[in-house]
Amino acid sequence: MIVRTRFAPSPTGRLHLGHVLAAKVAHDLARREPGGCFLLRHEDIDGPRVREEFYQGIEEDLEWLGLDWDETPLRQTTRSAAYEAALSRLRENDLVYPCFCTRREIQAELAVMAAAPHTAQGPVYPGTCRNRSHHEQQQKLAAGTPHAWRLDADKAISITGPLAFHDLRLGNIAVIPALLGDVVLARKDIGSAYHLAVVVDDSFQHITHVSRGEDLLASTHVHRILQCLLDMPEPVYLHHPLVLDEHGKRLAKRYAALSIAALRESGLTPAEALARIDAELNETWCPHSSA
């Protein structure tokens, strides 16, 4: 098997050290294997925040670091037809339902629940629209009511049966369908949301190893369900630790001082930047932490 990995940043800002960690892990996983391929994917479906200058900035930062990629970088905005086809298949099998709730309505319902489940991504959707009648759904859709399409997690797992995935760092993990609940797969304003797009694109690009931060571990439970429903291959996973700030919080794009562009302007060399990443990894968490 030829190992194929990907680094998939959003062009909504410049790369920071947390991104470099993700890119380096994916790059090294591929480069340590004969014929391995490291791909770059721009997750650019978040239209309002995407700016053309950030595509170039991301690629400049990777080139400066010496993290070279194979093939032409993929832009998700060119893939809308594939996402629509996947969503249509799920709709035909009655595995998704339209959700007409506004954020305010969801928050109000969660507020009256005795113990609303929460994840690292926030509260789990309470399922308000799941049991609307078909007639009511069709009325609202015909009226053009704004809506999202949500995965019916319980119905999905009843079809797939028990699932699991393998993580190179954490071992075998059983899928828990209720972990993120009925996630949004598409919205009326965009053709696809993260969970559906990433699964469709990983299959399209023949990704064999998915490496990403451990903050996205819960998302993998959803992705395994979607892979099974859409007859897509199961990759090997690696959820790596995160680069944290001085307060122990995950780095975000608002930390401009730690952007690669800012560090480069301050005189940091590529070798020094990568050395900082190796220090963060501590070179003990995974045998694939370095090339």
Domain count within the chain: 2
Question: What local confidence, expressed as pLDDT, does residue 249 receive?
Answer: 62
Which of 118, 152, 187 is the endpoint of a domain? 187
Q: With a cut of 50, say whether residue 197 has pLDDT above it.
A: yes
pLDDT digits (tens, 9 = 90+) for 32-45: 999 999 999 999 99
Q: Examine the domain organization and report whether 177 and 215 are in the same domain.
A: no
Residue 173, domain extent: 81-187
Q: Examine the domain organization and report whether 178 and 223 are in the same domain.
A: no
Element of type H or E holding 24: helix 17-31
Q: Is 106 in contact with 130 (CB distance < 8 Å)?
A: no
Which of 144, 160, 187 is the endpoint of a domain? 187
Q: Is residue 289 part of a domain?
A: no
Q: Examine the domain organization and report whether 164 and 206 are in the same domain.
A: no
Q: Examine the domain organization and report whether 257 and 213 are in the same domain.
A: yes
Q: Is residue 194 part of a domain?
A: no
Q: Examine the domain organization and report whether 89 and 47 are in the same domain.
A: no
Reported residue count of the chain is 291
- Token pair 């932490």: residue: 289
Sheet with 74-75, strands from edge to edge, namely 4-7, 37-42, 74-75
pLDDT digits (tens, 9 = 90+) for 158-173: 999 999 999 999 999 9
Q: Is 20 in contact with 28 (CB distance < 8 Å)?
A: no
Sheet with 171-174, strands from edge to edge, namely 171-174, 164-167, 236-240, 209-213
Q: Examine the domain organization and report whether 211 and 72 are in the same domain.
A: yes
Which of 156, 187, 218 is the endpoint of a domain? 187
pLDDT digits (tens, 9 = 90+) for 82-100: 999 999 999 999 999 999 9
Q: Examine the domain organization and report whether 164 and 255 are in the same domain.
A: no
Here the CATH number for the domain that contains residue 128 is 3.90.800.10
Q: Is residue 193 part of a domain?
A: no
Q: Examine the domain organization and report whether 143 and 170 are in the same domain.
A: yes
pTM of the model: 0.89
Give the Cα separation of 113 and 20 in Å (integer).
Answer: 40
